[in-house]
Structure 1
Amino acid sequence: MTTAILEVNNLAQCVRDGEDELHILEAITFTVQQGEAVAITGASGSGKSTLLGMLAGLDTPSSGSVHLLGQDLTRLSEEQRAVLRARHVGFVFQSFQLLDHLSALENVMLATQLVRMPHAEESAVAMLQRVGLGNRLKHTPKTLSGGEQQRVALARAFVRKPSIVFADEPTGSLDFATGQRVIDLMFDLRQEQGTTLILVTHDEKLAAHCDRQLVLSAGALLQ
């Protein structure tokens, strides 16, 4: 029997623009089961990244609710949401978001330090070896290619064996061949760990790897 890891109910986000209200998201409702891979697609400006931020508890909605791992994110404090993310959530971003002054190994270990993960260094080394970077442990981001940086980001996202990983345009800064390798690695890791994956993408090939797609248009979910 599958279990819902994410439940979104009537989610909306509005911002003031002078005297007008700008509706970024409207009446978004869906459920994601544990272990699913779901792609959020749609044209630029349709609200995809805004929705992803709401699902991860990085932003709060104007109305509606998001239940992640049974917790209502709208009822948690910012600190409580941060603790939930540190324990159960991984992230992959288009811009990699690695710290330039840290090595690949140190960047991956940052994710383990938030929850005082035992055997953190060994786990980080093993994960970097898993993504093909065992010979780049001490390299800083500026000495790595874009594809290598994104593989470090994958290692960082999966090193704690998170319940769910959110990815925002993970291949957006990469060429086709490099992006394909990142896609294959991300889905292999997801399969090995049984991780739920929710990603925003314009890449049709990446979206096709997912179990299903949620299509946004002008802030609304197409049925």
Structure 2
Amino acid sequence: MSAILTAENLFHQVSTSEGPLTLLNNISLEVARGESLAVTGASGSGKSTLLGLLAGLDRPSAGKIWLAGDEINAMDEEQRAAVRARCVGFVFQTFQLLPGLTALENVMLPSELRGERGAAKRAEDFLARVGLEPRLRHYPRQLSGGEQQRVAIARAFASFSSEDAILFADEPTGSLDAGNGAKIIDLLFKLNGESNTTLILVTHEQRLAQRCTSHLHMAAGAVESYAPLSDGDSLSEVSA
């Protein structure tokens, strides 16, 4: 399988009152089309920073990233936004739904911004697939946490306009109870399989990471271990 995402020698620093702070230190990885990759590590290890860079939400201080054939680190924000609109869906831990829009309008938004026809039908279809057909006209404040996350997932899958689609998810079950978290995990992998997309997610949950084909463990902004997950593996065995 060919690579849909490649990162080469990524460094990322931010300025603080005490001087430069290194968030990522010399990270390289390659993700094949259709792969599912779990990124794990302790809080503050750089997982979410890495995810944001790989998705084109920010640029690294140094290093290169190729996303679906485009070298996004060399692009300005407008150019990166065009790449994201074509092939990136992003599920945030805090949902990031617009409070003044209904569930249907939140899911329609990416397609509308691209000027596509049939945005409402596409959004309705995805909301039905996540079990929210009766809640199309409800606003985020009228939905439970699990329902809001399902809207966010529907919006992420509705964001794709290319076969080179990658879904990024940052702690997709972090704000949910165990029951809703398990449902979201099943839903993510079900839709991911149906859509034949690539999945890259940050998680603390062993049950979620074990569903992925590969596992990258981070510590102090660097890759501590990387390995594919085979049947019967546990995270403790893979990352030891």
Q: Contact 1:169–1:202 (CA<8 Å) still a contact in 2?
A: yes
What is aligned with 1:32?
Answer: 31
Cα distance in 1 between the residues matched to 2:26 and 2:5: 16
What is aligned with 1:69?
Answer: 68
What is aligned with 1:50?
Answer: 49
What is aligned with 1:82?
Answer: 81
Q: Contact 1:104–1:140 (CA<8 Å) still a contact in 2?
A: yes
Q: Which amino acid aligns with 1:54?
A: L
Q: Contact 1:38–1:199 (CA<8 Å) still a contact in 2?
A: yes
The C-alpha deviation readout for 1:120-166, integer Å capped at 9, x for no partner, is 11111111111000100000011110000000011101124460011
Cα distance in 2 between the residues matched to 1:179 and 1:140: 21
Cα distance in 2 between the residues matched to 1:160 and 1:95: 18
What is aligned with 1:121?
Answer: 120
CA shift, 1:18, in A, is 4.2
Q: Which amino acid aligns with 1:50?
A: T
Cα distance in 2 between the residues matched to 1:86 and 1:101: 22
Q: Which amino acid aligns with 2:180?
A: T
Q: What is the identity percentage for the equivalent residue pairs of Structure 1 and Structure 2?
A: 55
From the superposition, tell whether residues 142 and 17 of structure 1 become closer, same or farther in structure 2 (CA, over 3 Å).
Answer: closer
What is aligned with 1:216?
Answer: 218
From the superposition, tell whether residues 19 and 152 of structure 1 become closer, same or farther in structure 2 (CA, over 3 Å).
Answer: closer
What is aligned with 1:149?
Answer: 148
Q: Which amino acid aligns with 1:138?
A: R
Gaps in structure 1 of 5+ consecutive residues: none
Cα distance in 1 between the residues matched to 2:156 and 2:170: 12
Cα distance in 2 between the residues matched to 1:16 and 1:133: 43
CA shift, 1:57, in A, is 1.2
* 1:104-183 → structure 2 map (5 Å cutoff): 104-161=103-160, 163-183=165-185
**Worse-superposed segment, 13-22 or 34-43:** 13-22
TM-score of the pair, normalised by structure 1: 0.96
Q: Secondary structure at the match of 1:23?
A: strand
Q: Which amino acid aligns with 1:193?
A: S
The C-alpha deviation readout for 1:28-48, integer Å capped at 9, x for no partner, is 001000111101100000000
Q: Contact 1:94–1:169 (CA<8 Å) still a contact in 2?
A: yes
Give the number of aligned pairs. 222
Cα distance in 1 between the residues matched to 2:196 and 2:148: 24
Q: Secondary structure at the match of 1:152?
A: helix
CA shift, 1:19, in A, is 5.9
What is aligned with 2:235?
Answer: none
Runs of 4+ in structure 1 off by over 4 angstroms are none
CA shift, 1:212, in A, is 1.0
TM-score of the pair, normalised by structure 2: 0.90
Q: Which amino acid aligns with 1:122?
A: K
From the superposition, tell whether residues 207 and 5 of structure 1 become closer, same or farther in structure 2 (CA, over 3 Å).
Answer: same
Q: Contact 1:161–1:193 (CA<8 Å) still a contact in 2?
A: no
Q: What RMSD in Å do the two structures reach over aligned CA positions?
A: 1.1
Q: Contact 1:161–1:195 (CA<8 Å) still a contact in 2?
A: no
Q: Secondary structure at the match of 2:63?
A: strand
Q: Contact 2:64–2:71 (CA<8 Å) still a contact in 1?
A: yes
Q: Which amino acid aligns with 1:144?
A: L
